[in-house]
Structure 1
């Protein structure tokens, strides 16, 4: 997602929700009702970040306008997101939009810590994107010493507008459940809204349902439905053939390789590679100061992105490697193997969960959920085409992988 795509026109559903949120904000600020929370829920690709971007600009314009209602005049409007790529995209949006300031866009921990030291650093309105990534326990590594980031943001803000997707929980230290979410926002005046229309994936409803049912394990694994003129989908028996098919779209739009986090990778400044039949390819290089999104940089077409690289972002074509942690169970359904998952940091934090009364079964279920949510995130990035390769041979066969003698475009 680029700064320009963050400002895509609102559809009718988004506009109605936009109007509701503006009215809610005005009402809560004018009556000094605090804290107040507006919760926006929706699956990947339903335009949640676009809605937030329009709200950020509209609320900031009102705060800076001499004609603004008194409660919002000179108000402090903040955008908070616990995701490096999305933080950069919002900062770029602020840089390109005259009414905005880059200082309005913050990571959650700096905002929380500053607000705790100085009441003047609190927010009149805080917009929170990717709230499912907020920490639910202390994390000394990021200098967060509270117990829940969302609770602290709500406490430091008059009105909090929260965007949340229950199917994108990726770490044990950010282990959200509907019950916990209700507990955190339950002390506030709350309104809720939901976005349902799919804006990203051009896939048919049959393809989207197949992805959901397969990843969740609700149905046995079977070959995907046929693609159409708007969206292509293929399963490859050779990872190199998948890569060549994705690369053939380079120059027509954003086409990149993605993978489950099943191959060794550390942020040590070095290059790390993925090896599968017909493919030797580099993991994406960590470049936190790079202004252009990974999805569109010319040098990344020969890289593979992880879920952390692309969460919240869009691609035209995605080639997804289903690594060793994704297998076929004896009953023919998708099986997740946390012991094969290389992102050990995502699965740490069991001690804190046990202290909250979690059983061994609860912990194992949470670990599998992280892997399923990460896979679903990868499979819902593409607008025009999706290619798949499975490391597990039984899974590949169930998906309908067939030998291909030539490059097949999506």
Structure 2
């Protein structure tokens, strides 16, 4: 977007009349709808005087085009100063000048960065030559007018208040300054010579207007470069259903591309470790690199963007792919259908408001859907970890349909993290009391989970695991202040009773903290590791989650004031305490669930609360189950010789009056669920009720019934009374479920039931469309039992009724 444009002569006249900064400020307000801060206005007044002095050179043509604060289309990037014309051979040329007010610069330990004073303190920032080069690369790779007409782009930077070149022109930055020369206070004549070399004839800004109207599409060179980045990279190989989701998503995008076609929105659900980010990055490469479409990878959290930019760039300059990655708040003012596709990773972290102060825009989901012909959202409702997170599956679908989009739902179910164990995640849900599951212990789960006696033991374990691969880190709940952000000598996570102190992740590392070799000596949080994975993760549980008398109790007010994820909770607690506590409870539990599922091979934990740490240690062994008085129903459990009578039920039956008054009454269905072939037709009735023990979280969708048969005797002994959760949400993969199949029986007779472990396999049908084939697997000591196969999950005769929560007797 052009904010201010003129010829050199007109610009100089505006400077002499002391009106150029006023003109820019007025244009910014009229065209961008924002007011200019006094500091920014002062910087224009200062820098533009210096540029006027450079343009006093009479050999720079009077008709040279001049632009100030040029907004690069489809981005939030703005170029400080531009000059346009033709070079000696008549070739269109644009000189890009990055202006800086800095007077002092020092070294930074980050690549391609320097340190200067910003916002009242020292901060690491990109080298100005890198900034200028990145703007040129952005135009060269994405603006069709630039790459198709062979426009020359000449980036440079001008630090008119700075005298020292020792750091800025150091040999370590030569790879930047050779492409984008740097000019200091004493280099005004050299900058004028640089401009004269590239602009021999003025064009009155004609090139600028052509570029501003240029079609935004990736160049062929960028496309080929991007495809090459993934070739041979094993981290991004698609496996099984990941490939299916990838192909189906591309199919939906293609459907939306022709002008006038209906918007397409794809919602991909998947838990931790199912490969959401792997598929997302592959889609980005396919869309931009193979199909040459205008697409971006989008997240709210900056850490995944930073890591994947670093991973993909490799030895090349990250500026080449910078524009492919964007924050979710970047589309507030984007015109409808500007992009062919936006690939939104970690979509559960989308928010209503954007900007530093969360006061811009209305709804990031709606803004993204409007901005693109198609959008692909990767979501996991159980990874919403702040009060601002609004990106659940239903909300995305509802907003998309409201904006006229056709929606498609896909699922990634297979687990590739936590040693591929869905059972570990189910156990986590049970232990954190997010929901009751059948996985009440770690038996048979090939995942290294340990509870440490001290934070020092935890740190030592992670240090050992980190040797060689640099893929193990410490993380913690955000319950300690970030003092080291302002004082590099201060310690943050301090646990005095264990003589333990460490710092939070360095602010300078930003989203790349998880990749830095020295970061094993710091502690990360949810904001620096969500969406990423490690070999081993060490988790410190803070006072925001404790266990009292076997019940997990959360308190979001124990979070540090630095943590913005629960900002506003105290006000909510005053206005609606019941709802606020429920929301805060979910956020705290989801946070620790997310932290404890970052590891591919193992998770080690320590709680600062002694009772909680001891309870977690007990949860790892069988004494935890004895305490709960719940028989696990796994291999080795005692099996009754015959099915027990109802009088042997493990829970007391209630009278009708007792059931009506009880707040923990769950129905008992008098159906003999067959743990074998589908049972004879039976009708489920809820004429009797039982009292749910205090060890279980009450939910209205729980019920009790009895299971007969030997096909699941390794988990559920014949005749056991079992607690079930009706209408289970989310993935069913590898869960033990109660299913019904309405074969040829009269529907009035109720149908047929069985209990099995659910697995699904994607197969391509004769019509070429994929469908899920369901296999219900027995877990029995008797090898005669065979799996039951349902050829099509969508078969209307087949229905998953409930998920096993616990075996009670």
TM-score, normalising length from structure 2?
0.43
Residue 250 (structure 2) aligns with: 22
Q: Report the Cα distance in structure 2 between the residues aligned to 1:223 and 1:37, rounded to whole angstroms.
A: 38
- The alignment partner of 1:218 has SS state of coil
Match of 1:301 in 2: 520
Deviation readout 1:23-50 (Å, 9 max, x if unpaired): 1111222373333201111111110010
Q: Distance in 1 between matches of 2:484 and 2:372?
A: 34
Greater alpha carbon shift after TM alignment, 8-17 vs 209-218: 209-218
Question: What corresponds to 1:174 in structure 2?
Answer: 389
- Higher fraction of strand: 2
1:345 to 564, 570, 575: 564
CA distance in 2, matches of 1:174, 1:102: 25
Distance 1:140 1:386, change over 3 A: closer
The offset of 1:316, in angstroms, is 0.8
Corresponding residue number in structure 2 for 1:258: 475
Matches within 5 A, 1:132-151: 132-136=348-352, 138-142=353-357, 145-151=360-366
> 1:71 is matched with which residue?
none
Q: Could you tell me how far apart the structure 1 residues matched to 2:396 and 2:576 are?
A: 20
Task: Tell me the secondary structure at the aligned position of residue 158 of structure 1.
Answer: strand
| Structure 2 partner of 1:81 | 299
1:144 deviation in Å?
A: 5.3
1:109 aligns to what SS in structure 2?
A: coil
- Cα distance in 2, alignment partners of residues 6 and 338 from structure 1: 40
Deviation at 1:181, TM superposition (A): 3.1
* 1:235-254 aligned within 5 A: 235-253=451-469, 254=471
Q: Which of 124, 146, 151 does residue 340 from structure 2 map onto?
A: 124
Closer, same or farther in 2 for the Cα pair 1:153/1:6, shift >3 Å? farther
When Rg is computed on C-alpha atoms for both structures, the one with the higher figure is 2
Distance in structure 2 (CA, Å) of the matches to 1:245 and 1:223: 26
**Structure 2 match to 1:69:** none
Q: 1:225 aligns with which of 442, 446, 450?
A: 442
Given the superposition, is the C-alpha separation of residues 283 and 374 from structure 1 closer, same or farther in structure 2, using an over 3 Å criterion?
same
SS at 1:377's partner residue? helix
Aligned counterpart for 2:503 among listed residues 263, 282, 287: 282
> CA offsets, 1:352-410, max 9 Å, x none?
989xxx943222211111111111110000111211111121111211279xxxxxxxx
- The alignment status of 1:183 with 2:398, answered yes or no, reads yes
2:599 to 377, 382, 391: 382
Provide the C-alpha distance between the structure 1 equivalents of 2:420 and 2:249, rounded to a whole number of angstroms. Answer: 30
CA distance in structure 2 between the partners assigned to 1:215 and 1:171 by the alignment: 18
CA shift at 1:154, angstroms? Answer: 0.4
Q: Work out which structure has the larger RCO, using CA pairs closer than 8 Å and 6 or more positions apart in sequence.
A: 1
Higher mean displacement: 4-13 or 104-113: 4-13
TM-score normalized by the length of structure 1: 0.82
SS in 2 for 1:389: strand
The superposition leaves residues 107-160 of structure 1 with CA deviations (integer Å, 9 ceiling, x where unpaired) of: 1223433x14xx68x211111111111112x34525652221011110111101
Aligned residue number for residue 320 of structure 1:
539
Greater helix percent: which structure? Answer: 1
Residue in 2 that maps onto 1:160? 375
CA contact (8 A) 1:319 1:386 kept: yes
Q: Give the direction of change, closer, same or farther, for the CA distance of 1:106–1:180 in structure 2 (3 Å limit).
A: same
Q: Could you tell me how far apart the structure 1 residues matched to 2:581 and 2:234 are? A: 37
When structure 1 is superposed on structure 2, of 294-303 and 192-201 the one drifting more is 294-303
2:424 to 180, 187, 207: 207
Q: Is the 8 A contact 1:52 1:129 kept in 2?
A: yes
Aligned residue for 1:37? 265
Matches of 2:285 and 2:518, distance apart in 1: 32
Change (3 A) 1:140 1:53: closer
The range that moved more, 358-367 or 19-28, is 358-367
**Equivalent residues of 1:214, 1:333 under 8 A apart:** no
Instruction: Report if the CA contact (8 A) 2:380-2:392 is conserved.
Output: no
Measure the CA separation in 1 of the matches of 2:422 and 2:281: 27
Residue 407 of structure 1 is matched in structure 2 by none
Deviant stretches of 4+, over 6 Å: 2-6, 351-354
Instruction: Tell me the SS of whatever aligns to 2:474.
Output: strand
> In the alignment, is residue 194 of structure 1 matched against residue 194 of structure 2?
no
Q: 1:372 aligns with which of 589, 606, 609?
A: 589
Aligned residues, how many?
377
Structure 1 unaligned segments of length 5 or more: list them: 65-74, 403-410
Single out whichever of 31-40 and 365-374 deviates more from structure 2: 31-40
Match of 2:492 in 1: 273
Does the 8 Å CA contact 2:397/2:407 hold for their aligned counterparts? no
Distance 1:107 1:177, change over 3 A: closer
Task: Report the secondary structure of 2:494's partner residue.
Answer: strand
Matched, 1:336 2:551: no
The answer on whether the counterparts of 2:569 and 2:584 sit within 8 Å (CA) in structure 1 is no
The alignment status of 1:107 with 2:327, answered yes or no, reads: yes
Post-superposition offset of 1:96: 4.6
2:450 aligned to which of 209, 214, 234: 234
Tell me if the contact between 2:533 and 2:600 (Cα under 8 Å) persists in the aligned partners: yes
